[in-house]
Every structure is written in C-alpha cells, then in structure tokens.
Structure 1
C-alpha cells in the first residue's frame, strides 16, 4: 500500500490531460504561454496502465485536470480507459467553457463531480483575470450541468484589489444555484509569485467578512480534505482551501501525474519521477521512492507554472 513514513496513505491522484488552456488566468500562466508538443502526452493506454497499477496499491480517486482537460482530443478514449480501473470516484476540474459539449460523454462514464473555476461574476473583471470573454457561456454551462444532475463546486481564487469585493456576490450566486462555492487562497506558484504579496487574502479574513452578514456553521470534513466547509443559516455552502495560511500537508493523500508522465508527490515540488518508459517492476520501485519525496511541511514556493503540473 502507498503509505509513507508519516502514515499518510496516498489514495487520490490528480491527473493532467494537457497543459493547454483556452484562458490565460494571470496567476496560472503568461499570455504567451508555450505548451509541450502533443506527442509528449501520455496515451490513453499509458494512463490506464499507470492508474490501474496504482489502484492495486490503494488508489481510490482520480481527478482529471489540465490546463483545460476538455481540450484534450483523446478525451473519449482516456475516459473509457480510466473508467475501467475500478476507482471509487472520477471527477473533473474545468473552466467550464466547453462543458456543454461533453456533458453526455461525462455522464456515460459516471463522472458527475465537477469543480468549475470561476474567479469573477463581472464580465470586465473576468476578462481582466482570464483574458477571456466567456463568462456568460460558463454560467450557462453551470446551470445546464446542474440541471442534468452533476454535482458542482465553484472554485474561486480570491485576490485583494481584484475580485475580493465580489465575496458576498459569490455566496448569493452559489446559494441561488444550489451549489457549493469554495474560496482558494492565492498560492505562491509560478506566475502568482509576482503578485502574491499584494493580492493574497488569508481565508480567516474572508471568514471574518462573511460573519458580518451570515452565521457560519462548521461542517465535518474528511481528515485528508483540502477544504474546510461551512453552511449558512440560509443554506449557502461555503468552503475554503487555505493552503498558504493553514496548510494541510500533514494529512495530504495526493500525488500528481503530469500530461507527459512525470509523477510528483506535491504540487509545490519541482522534482518528480518520469515513469512512462518504466516497466511494471521499475514503476513499483518509483512509487516507493516517491513516498519518501512527499514533504511533511509546506514548501515556501515553486517556480514552475501551474498549468504545467495540473491545477
């Protein structure tokens, strides 16, 4: 089983399908971002072999990420392969722009848990953050997915002086759509290292602001959850991912697999192990090695770009 010396069991894997994206969120990548050659991507067969192998060692959940995973042309084949791996749960993180095209495909493979990134409800601020003009399409797709039975969480990176004045608007939006809103702290990763000092807002500050208008009741969460959650008296569900101010490294249960086959023990670790060219026995040895590479205390920052490792 994948258990390290601190007793942390690796049961979740973030799987990047591509480093490409159809937005340019300023904390994630530069406007002129360069992407890897498509022939470097793991094939559907390789994804299946690696994930099936990890399932025999205790892996239970996979979250598909990017870049933007819905841009991967081989998505149908990848979903078919991964869905055969006896996982307890497969979920997807997306910016939602193309979601309407893939809802039926996702349903066919029982991928009903969606995290949708949405950093503003105002078109001009949305464009400022993402360099895109797709807000209306994303909101339409959120409503459509909810109507079709998908379980949705909205992920919002809160930034001082950028979108923090929308805090209450997001709560009311999530309440009206009957979905969970999760506020993420701006992390010191790649592009965001340049703005983090000025734009960072700790989760506790947001909680204090919310308490001026709502009564927040804490919710029980799994020990290895990245988020801690509240529910308001009016039924709004609010989560926080405070990876900067309240890191959860001591109970982390996640590894990350990049689109080109590098397995990493932590989002904030540059080093990882290339596993695509290894045989079964060599990969088993690599997994054992990676267990010893997972930090117990949170690293300060990392320079690689978010979209290159999977958000």
Structure 2
C-alpha cells in the first residue's frame, strides 16, 4: 500500500506535533508483572476488540495527518495472531519508523518474520537479570527464554536492542549497576523507567515506598562504573535521557515521567485494542474512535476524532494523579 499524500500536520492546543502513534493490538499478556496487572485480571472479550484490519485503517488516517512513527504494543503484542503480518502492512503503508515493545517470551521464534516484515527496532521489557527475581516480578518462570531472545535479537538487523526496566526500590534497584554494565558488554540500550502510580495504589503508599528517581539511578551507575557522557537525541520528543560509558557499545538511560515529566515535548497518541484513543497515558481521558473506524467514511470520520483528541490533549498529566491509580498498563496500552 503506497503512502497517501500528507494533508496537514496534526498538532494539539499547545502546538505539540502529534507524529507518534502507539497501537495496543491486545490487552492480553502471557506475564502478570506485579506493577502492571493482577494475577486474576479479566481481559476484554476478543469480539469487542478492533480487528487488525480496523487498526490499519486508523493508522492510515494518522499517516495522512503527519504521523510518521508507530509502535506496536499490548499487553504483549506477539500473543495476537497475525501481528507479524500487521507490522509488515504498517511498514508498507509508508511509516518511517515501525517498532515494537515486547516481553520477549515469543520473540526468538518470531525474529526472522519480524525482520522480513520490516520492523525497524525492538524494545524488550526485562526488570531483572536474576531468574528467581524475574519469577517474582512477572509471576512466570521464563527468564532464560527471554534472555535467549535478547541475545538472538543482537544477531539480527534489529541490533542495537533496547531493554526497558521499571525501577523499584527494594526489588531491583540492587541491579542498577549490573544492568548498566550490560551496555559495556553488548550493543544494548538499557533504560530504567521510573515507577508510575498505577494499578490500584489508591493512597500512594506502596508507590512511594518503591519509587526511585532517575537521578539516583544515574548517580549509582556513575559511582560504580565511571563517567556517563550524554547522547544526543535523534528525536527531541523522545522520553529517554541517554548516556554512554567511554568505549561502550550500548547506551544507559532513564525515563523520568514522575521526577522530571516530559509532557511539554510529548508527541504521542495511543490507540487501545478496544477502540479508544488515549491522548495522555496518565489520565483517564479516553476518546472513543471505534464508531468512526466502522463508519461508511472511516478516514474522514477518524480525522475528525483525531483533531478532537488533539484539542483535548492536556498540557500535562502527571503530578501523582489520583485519576490514574486504578488503571493497569494493559488497559491503557502502555
């Protein structure tokens, strides 16, 4: 499918350019990470979710309004049948950058297909290098399979590979140096993400106990491993602040939505599997778009919803928000 000629660039009320789309292809996941979802979570009826073809229609409408980058997420995207072909169709549409975030469990057996489909980059979520701790955090005993997938990905055109770890005091903060050292040994870009107050922490007590700031993470890495030099951003809107040790093949960085929010440069929209747009990850603001996608003139109707979404996108969404604490990352397409 050839790229449709661009109309006008989608921008919000604060003149932020909306050029990055995240598509949550499913709310389902084969892990149950403790900071993300409860063990007994109830997923949506699959019949109530958008089809992949409908998601492609939405993506085409976004492409026409200047969206150039798309990330496929979940839940865990690789549990959705047909997602490898879906990535190939996104690439064929003309998106400049097509990426995916995965927990890695199904990655190794899909690597060849993803590379052939044109996937540009992959982010793998892994919060620990210790198998026992991995089982505690994810409630699944799959560390070795994920690690093998990471090593296999480094042997493909997807290298360098990005690793995302959610930082939690008393859980995995003792591994900050070990994770940073990976960047000295492999072409891995390791980023620690500050814990956000989600998943039913209604009074914030557990959040405050576990929270560790990006600054502290960087300070610990510097103390043990030496100076970190800033890496210039390819994209000014990118949320990660990345650094490099002298001679290291990889980067080490932090994503700081709590201690140093980057709302002022946010360029993202999120489409959920059940047909809603989240203009801001950390509010309860949803803009329904399923009816527009299923209308007789879907592109025209989706454009209307996109402009409305851009209009209501807030200036900022995180000051330990009460409104976000009863949501899971799976529900908001994080």
TM-score (normalizing by structure 2): 0.89
Q: Map residues 60-79 of structure 1 onto 2, 5 A cutoff.
A: 60-79=68-87
Report how far residue 84 of structure 1 moved: 2.5
Q: Does 1:227 align with 2:240?
A: yes
- Structure-2 separation of matches of 1:168 and 1:78: 37
User: Which SS does the other structure have where 1:263 is aligned?
Assistant: strand
Report how far residue 140 of structure 1 moved: 0.6
Q: Does 1:98 align with 2:73?
A: no
**Which residue among 230, 234, 237 is the counterpart of 1:218?**
230
- Structure-2 separation of matches of 1:284 and 1:145: 37
Q: Does 1:45 align with 2:53?
A: yes
- Structure-2 separation of matches of 1:96 and 1:284: 34
TM-score (normalizing by structure 1): 0.96
Q: Does 1:272 align with 2:286?
A: yes
Aligned residues: 311
Is the Cα contact below 8 Å between 2:87 and 2:119 reproduced in 1? no
Moved over 4 A (4+): 191-194
Structure-1 residue corresponding to 2:215? 204
Identify unmatched segments of 5+ residues in structure 1.
none
Structure-1 residue corresponding to 2:4? none
- Structure-1 separation of matches of 2:134 and 2:303: 44
**Which residue among 99, 115, 128 is the counterpart of 1:120?**
128
Is the Cα contact below 8 Å between 2:105 and 2:145 reproduced in 1? yes
- Structure-2 separation of matches of 1:183 and 1:191: 22
When the two chains are superposed, the root-mean-square deviation of aligned CA atoms in Å is 1.4
User: Which SS does the other structure have where 1:259 is aligned?
Assistant: coil
- Structure-2 separation of matches of 1:228 and 1:11: 20
Q: Deviations over 1:196-255 (max 9, x none)?
A: 110000011111112212101111113211111111124141011001000000110000
Is the Cα contact below 8 Å between 2:243 and 2:251 reproduced in 1? yes
Is the Cα contact below 8 Å between 1:44 and 1:81 reproduced in 2? no
